[in-house]
Every structure is written in structure tokens, then in C-alpha cells.
Structure 1
Amino acid sequence: MSRIENKYWVAVENLDEMRELVLNYMNHDYYSEIMKNKFYTVRSIYLDNDQFDAYYEKTAGLEKRSKYRIRAYNQMNAGKTVYCEIKSKIKEYISKERFPIAFNEVADFLVYPDMLKIKNHSADYKLRLFAANNFIYSVKKKNMKPVVNVVYEREAFECKYGSGLRITFDMNLRGAETNSVTNLFDEDSLREVKRGYFILEIKYGRMLPSWVMSLVNRFGLRKEAISKYVLCLEESKSNIPKINRI
């Protein structure tokens, strides 16, 4: 399902007040609700090629572009599942396709893809298999490899009334250059990005409720083309030109 994403930088001193206002209209989503502090950790290793095409497509603001990443949540444990994702943008609309795979199999899968590792245990199997083939085809065709590890804490909200509106607070953004997906759960080398701010993401279909824009205006926010991939890559890799620095 395609949707629109609006992103804003927000000073951390506004976090509590903004949360209180959002909870008038929304509930924490399931994954935030089950966490003691109402946030969970999102970990992504982004793939790009030697020419950094995905990076330059973003910084150039191309209307049609895609990013490729390996994503996991929270901490490492036995039998951990991760997700290979393609996040695509066409004009203002975002879509995502992904498939799950065991963490201890993902490195080999990128080199020697075996579709039998995509387990046939749900109604989404055909969609997952389609996503896996698309992911591997693009990675091989573009000769992509792991380039940066991106980590942050997310507090997520969903509409009480089933409108599809989703709001997230992405906090403590940090990243590190990497050349291996096995570094997905590493923390030691991560460098903090934009201390004192968090990212507000507003995701919706076609209509944005009026209260959301009132929230944005209350804090004097300005919509920005924020890319966690670009920010963390520029922070950790010195020989990437600083183009359209956010």
C-alpha cells in the first residue's frame, strides 16, 4: 500500500508535550505498547554500490528512487528474524516490500540466494517470494553491498479510528560505516547524529486530519527531506561529498 510520508526535526524538549497531544487521537501501536518504555530499537543496514547511486538519487531529489536495507528490531537472540526490504518512492508516495529471513542466513542469502529459505507458512508467501526475487535481482544487477548501519529508537502511534494514519517519533539516531550485514546488532562504533532532536514522521493515505497540521503548526515545524541513510552515511564516511546536507 502506497502512502505519503512527511518528516520533521523536533527538539527533544518538546517530546513529552507532543506525545500528550498525539495520544488524544491515537494509541501506541502493538510493538510500542508491549515495550516497557513504549519504544523499540530499529536497526537497518543499507546497501549501495561503489558509485553510491541510492545516495545520489536521494540527494538529487529524484522523483522515482529506491533504497535497499536489512532491518531488525531490538536485540539479538537465538533464531532472530530480520527483514530484507525495498523502500520505493514515486513522487510523494512511498511503498515498501519485504520478506523475512533468519539472521544467521542473510549474509549467505545475499551471495547465494536460495528461495527455499523463504518459508511457506503464511498467506503472504507469494508476496514474500516476489519481494525476495525483486530484492536479489536489484542487489545483483546494481552490485550493491552493505555500506552503513543505521540505528534509532522508535515510539509509534496508530489511529484510534482505523484511518491508517501512523505517527512515529524516531529518537537517538546513530550510525556507522560497515561492509557486512553481520554488524547489524553492533553498537560500539555508532556515532550520534543531530543530538538534541528527534524525527517526527507522519504517514497517511490521501487525507491528513486537521489536528495533525495543528500539531505541526503549534511547534513551528517545517517539513524536510530527511533521510536517515544519507545522514548516517555522511556522518560516518568522510569521502562521500556533503551534498544537500540536512
Structure 2
Amino acid sequence: MADYQGVFKRYEKKFLLTDYQYKLLREKLEKYMEADSYGLHTISNIYYDTDDYRLIRESLSKPVYKEKLRLRSYGTPTSDSDVFLEIKKKFEGVVYKRRVSMKLEEANKYVIQRKQPSKVSQITREIDWFLKSYDLSPKAFIAYDRIALFGKENSDLRITFDTNIRWREDNLDLAKGSNGRQLLQPGQILMEIKIPGVMPLWMSQMLDELNIHSTSFSKYGTCFKNHLIYTFLQNLDKNIMITQIGGVHCA
């Protein structure tokens, strides 16, 4: 996997489609775009956060700058499969993604045990800083089935369609399979348009014709707001109770 792209800088626009909108849009896109060689494939992710979910809570407050760390695989890996450890940052609407490839076992030891990987690079040094800045642990598993398109005239123009988005907060290991509970409503499809600059006019017109509008959407953010927040609140209540008991005990 030595030829993978490790650095990305682009704008990402997200849209929630119905099945009907998706079918009409795919027909219209055939003139301008084509599917990549992977076809329909599964992407699995582990998202890391602090025990009080600091990263995702700050992200949902829509700051000018936000960042996250995740571990990604294509398909279900084994301990010696190649996976990607990624830092994803967003500043003033521009997405910066930096990733490095390593074996799953090595990645787990790196993030959880802080054992340095065999290959050190500028990206691993950035990840080192991230790990030193936050006390992170695995918080959510999110997987989905994806079809990716790229522009016939401009391969940097990409559109992805994610279906069957599912999540779990146990078995937080990519090797444990891609099963999970559904994150979206039945029939919803997440589309992401990834562009290096301005959206082509033909694409803007196409979206207008189909009444497709961009939305603010985060898979991990939605998972937190709809599900993980209850774990957060339970832990918060426990911490308050412990503090109160501790205060009484010390009085």
C-alpha cells in the first residue's frame, strides 16, 4: 500500500438523499462521472475521543477549527492487514486529512499503548502531538457501504454515496466485523461531494433541479447526539455523585 495518497486538502459538501433522488442523480451523473474500480465496498472506522467526549462535543459547537482521529479499514481486517490512521482537521470550511498506513496490530499498540510505529514520518509526529494533547480511547465503531465516483475530465472531483451506515459502542476493534445498529432512517443515503475548489456549474444546476440541498452532517456527531450522549450523561452523573460523596467524606 506504498502508493496510497496520504495528504488531502479539499472542500467537502454533504447531502442526505432519498432513494428516489439518488436514482435520478446517478442517471444524470453518468455524463460527467464514473465509478472507481472498487465498486460497492465497505469502510469501517474506529473513532477516538476523551472519556467526556471532548472532541465531538467541541466539533458539534461548530468552531472555526476542529479535529478528530480515527482508524480506518477497507473491509474487515486481520491483525496483519493494512489500515489507515487518520487525522482529519477542518479550518474555515477547508478539510485537511493526513493519514498513514500500518498494520492493524501496530496501529492499536500505537494509539492505545503509545508504542511508536516502525516507520516514523511527519504525519506520525503530528499524530504523536495529538495523542499527547488528549487522553484518547476508542469510543465508537462506524461502518458503511460506499460507491465512489470521480470526474471524467477532472479526477480530483469526487462524489461518494454511503448506505447502510451502522454503529456500535462495544467490540471497538476493526477485526470484529462490520455489524452494528443503523444510524440513518430507512431509505436515506449520505452523499459527499469532495472538490479542490469551486463546484462545477453543471453540478450546481443538477442539484437545484433535483431539489438537493447541502446539510451539516457528521457520522460520528450523529452517533453521539442520538446514542452516545446517554453514555456521556450517565458517566457525568456518576462523576458528580463521586465528587459529592468525596466532598462529604472530606468535610
State the TM bucket, normalised to the shorter chain: 0.7 to 0.9
Equivalent in the alignment of 1:124: none
Equivalent in the alignment of 1:47: 48
Q: Which amino acid aligns with 1:169?
A: F
- Mapped pair 1:132 → 2:132: no
The SS at the match of 1:164 is coil
Equivalent in the alignment of 1:123: none
How many pairs are equivalent? 223
CA distance in 1, matches of 2:163, 2:43: 10
Alpha-carbon contact 2:42-2:145 (below 8 Å) kept: yes
Shift of 1:172: 1.1
- Mapped pair 1:149 → 2:141: yes
Alpha-carbon contact 1:193-1:232 (below 8 Å) kept: yes
Deviation by residue 1:46-88 (Cα, 9 ceiling, x = unmatched): 0011221211122100110101000001133573111100010
Equivalent in the alignment of 1:6: 13
Deviates more, 1:15-24 or 1:54-63: 15-24
CA distance in 1, matches of 2:174, 2:159: 28
Equivalent in the alignment of 1:177: 169
The SS at the match of 1:155 is strand
Deviation by residue 1:146-178 (Cα, 9 ceiling, x = unmatched): 100010011101111125211111111111114
Q: Which has the larger radius of gyration?
A: 2
The SS at the match of 1:107 is helix
Structure 2 runs not aligned, ≥5 long: 1-7, 234-251
- Mapped pair 1:30 → 2:37: yes
Deviation by residue 1:171-219 (Cα, 9 ceiling, x = unmatched): 1111111474x2454334x110122201111111222111111221122
Alpha-carbon contact 2:71-2:86 (below 8 Å) kept: yes
User: What percentage of aligned pairs have identical amino acids?
Assistant: 25
What TM-score do you get using the length of structure 1 for normalisation?
0.83
Shift of 1:16: 2.4
CA distance in 2, matches of 1:154, 1:179: 22
CA distance in 2, matches of 1:89, 1:26: 26
Deviates more, 1:58-67 or 1:213-222: 213-222
RMSD across aligned positions (CA): 1.9
What TM-score do you get using the length of structure 2 for normalisation?
0.82
CA distance in 1, matches of 2:175, 2:210: 34
Shift of 1:30: 3.0
